[in-house]
Amino acid sequence: MSDSTLAKTYPRRGLAWHGWLGLVLAGGFWILNWTLDGTRTHWGFFPMWLGYCLTIDALVYLRKGTSLLTRSWRKYVSLFLISAPVWWIFEVVNWRLQNWHYVGADSFTPFQFWVWATLSFTTVIPAVFGSAELAGSFAFINRLGRGPKIAPTKATILFFFCTGLVMFSLMWIWPRLFFPFIWISIYFIMEPINIWLGNPHLASWTKKGDWRPVITLWIGVLLTAFFWEMWNYLSYPKWVYHVPWGQFWHIFEMPLLGYGGYLPFALELFAIYHLVTGLLGDKDNRYLQLLKP
């Protein structure tokens, strides 16, 4: 089935079939993940989060008449394929930071852990982007007023790029002090590169004072973060955090301040995704529709 005809096969009468499939996957593997003994999350994480992605996508389609999956199933699959290596970037940086580790990882050989972890990491980008599109489908987003204008001038682009390099360097040299920079430095580096290469970038909106796409990404990633942290809480294997400061007022395993890191993280995902697709020759900024058309 071609991408151009896929959406036509989905009548907007109730939740689309892939949404019901998503609910079954998410609900069924949630129950298994929280009730079975021993190691189980390594095989239960992917189908549970695939269910989340499909359910969110169906809700977006119900509200908008279009969604990531129905616009292009090929690009939707590519979200999963790009997601895993993107998250491994953060895992590699964490070898230096040691901000989180996986309880139960010693039950697997290094190769087994890599395989199961990579499969799980494939759901990060489709979950966040789908949730962001869902947030952008609500009317209150379109009613938001204009904010400060940040235009991609030569000076601003160079400032962003240099600031990102400085933040990343500080984080790497003094990880106990500057570890939060992992969640913002990559965006400051990638956004200018996307501008220079002519890839989609958030400055195309903020130059007009339009922060709605940024806000949809923030809402979407916080929704995703809630389910990430909640489903992780009773998982095994699971991740736990070890940050040098800010370890108080936990919501599940995550300290309250840690949720703030999700906001720039969503911008990093946006920037890295469009850098990858741009390098592959796809510079179309219409696939990810953060606002209701």
> Each residue of 244-278: pLDDT tens digit?
888 888 899 999 999 999 999 999 999 999 999 99
Q: What is the spatial distance between Cα 77 and Cα 278, in angstroms, rounded to a whole number?
A: 17
Q: Which long-range contacts (CB under 8 A, 24 or more apart) does 138-146 make?
A: 138/292, 141/212, 141/215, 141/216, 141/291, 141/292, 142/212, 142/291, 142/292, 144/211, 144/212, 144/215, 146/208, 146/209, 146/210, 146/211
Q: How far apart are CA 52 and CA 226, in angstroms?
A: 12
Question: At 255, which amino acid appears?
Answer: P
Query: For residue 13, what pLDDT is reported?
Result: 67
- How far apart are the C-alpha atoms of 4 and 228, rounded to whole Å? 33
Domain boundaries, the chain: 79-279
Q: What global pTM score does this model have?
A: 0.94
Helix/strand/coil (H, E, C) string of 75-86? Answer: HHHHHHHHHHHH
More confident residue, 88 or 144: 88
Mean pLDDT confidence for 212-230: 97
Q: Which pLDDT tens digit goes with each residue over 147-177?
A: 999 999 999 999 999 999 999 999 999 999 9
Question: Which contacts qualify for 159-166: CB closer than 8 Å, 24 or more apart?
Answer: 160/188, 160/189, 160/191, 160/192, 161/188, 161/189, 161/192, 161/193, 163/188, 164/188, 164/189, 164/190, 164/192, 165/189
Given a cut of 90, whether residue 112 has pLDDT beyond it is yes
Residue 89 is predicted with a pLDDT of: 97
Backbone angles phi, psi at 233, to 5 degrees: -55, -40
Q: How far is CA 237 from CA 10, 36, 44, 234, in A?
A: 38, 12, 10, 9
Q: At residue 131, does pLDDT exceed 70?
A: yes
pLDDT over 70 for what percent of the chain?
A: 96
Give dist(CA 54, CA 26) in Å, integer. Answer: 9
Percent of the chain past pLDDT 90, that is, above it, reads: 88
Identify the pLDDT of residue 285: 83
Alpha carbon distance 264, 279 (integer Å): 23
User: Exposed, middle or buried: residue 191 (CB in 10 Å: 0-12, 13-18, 19+)?
Assistant: buried
Query: 99: exposed, middle or buried (C-beta count within 10 Å: 0-12, 13-18, 19+)?
Result: buried
